[in-house]
Structure 1
């Protein structure tokens, strides 16, 4: 399937948010996936992942997650500076600001002729958390979260009652939770706490823990595991195909 890519600048309550759009080029109508990057925004690996999803018949929206804190078009490198800047941005943006970002993308995509009105979400690292956050929106029916950081702690600023794990009653769609057992950012105790809360809330979710490191989906750097990445994509595409295509 041939795809096309462009960008759109969306208005959010906290400023203009550049959003990259990757979708099939044939003029049909497709489910829409809100796809959330790591702290580095749309790097090469993130763009390739988005285009892979688009090539399976989805319109994929990749927002600049820290648009309030950087010039439009900012991409951070996978180096010490990029890591430190991205983590500082994560610590500076309240989690509720992402709700406005989600709303802007959902409202815009719903008006596009290439949307079939079915919505999902997916993300890596902080993007896994932001995909989980997007699932609080009623339109999101299927969500794939890869090694979602900060669900088990309070690193991302939040007001009382606004932590993502404190709003599980708002989560109505199906979840796919994927983790790496060798991921130091989400230790075993943290994963167990997230699992316990999801199970106690009786949510519809599937849980997978693999022998992988943090960022094993990223096709750049020494932590990339191609076999696990393929398994991860297959699981996500299986979820989206079953739920968003019926």
Structure 2
């Protein structure tokens, strides 16, 4: 396995990213849409695990417009007023529309690295909605999209991904925390209805007892059993679709 730091030219600047390649030629490409705490070693570890299944995995910095920033400790960042305000500025200032535009450059970066074939995307926390919006915006390039403890997947906002369900061709998997204020039951119902009416191949699964952030090892609510369940669902999704 190899790890490579690359720079991706976007319409708004240059995004740093890290690309992980398997030892053998990659079977497909995957883009990880980060959580609010940004690129860091734990996301590298998660990318390496996916690369171990034979994929080339791209981890772009979605907050590149504000770089440099951080690093952040997920266990304490929201408990400190200064870092909480910075995180909210970074996430609020990086709109869904910006990340949607960036998606084209991310996909082109995989192609430029000679990673051909279908693409899968997965997002955590704020990255969940961005992964689904990417699938809706680039339906001919993205074949699978997953969200884990994603927030605002079916909100009242104009850029909520459920509004674009009719554009999605990818298979969708949504793993939600048992209780999550950022994705309450009414949003789950709204998302299910939108995907079903659009005849999107999808699964929405409730991880009972898990809290927002349970998949990511450096979160205070990390749950090893729940994380392994997430890995099984994610790798099965990609194995079945990225062929």
TM-score by length of 1: 0.89
Q: Could you say what secondary structure the match of 2:234 adopts?
A: helix
Cα distance in structure 2, aligned partners of 1:223 and 1:61:
25
Task: Report matched runs for 1:1-246 at 5 Å.
Answer: 3-26=1-24, 28-71=25-68, 74-78=70-74, 79-80=77-78, 81-113=82-114, 115-136=115-136, 137=138, 138-153=140-155, 162-211=159-208, 212-245=210-243
How much has 1:53 moved relative to structure 2? 0.6
Whole-angstrom distance in 2 between the partners of 1:206 and 1:184: 20
How far does the alpha carbon of each residue in 1:43-83 deviate from its partner, in whole angstroms, 9 at most, with x for none?
23222111111111111101101111222x75333213444
Q: CA deviation at 1:30?
A: 2.4
Aligned residues: 235
Residues in 2 aligned to 1:117 and 1:56: alpha-carbon distance in whole angstroms = 16
Partner-residue secondary structure (3-state), 1:148: coil
Extract unaligned runs of 5+ from structure 1. none
Cα distance in 1 for partners of 2:164, 2:223 equals 33
CA–CA separation in structure 1 for the residues paired with 2:242 and 2:225: 25
> How many angstroms does 1:39 deviate by?
0.9
Shift of residue 221, structure 1, vs aligned partner: 3.7
- Larger helix fraction of residues: 2
TM-score with structure 2 length normalisation? 0.90
Asked whether the equivalents of residues 40 and 82 of structure 1 are also in contact (C-alpha less than 8 Å), the reply is no
CA 1:123–1:29: 2 relative to 1, 3 Å = same
Could you tell me whether the CA contact under 8 Å between 2:129 and 2:160 is conserved in 1? no
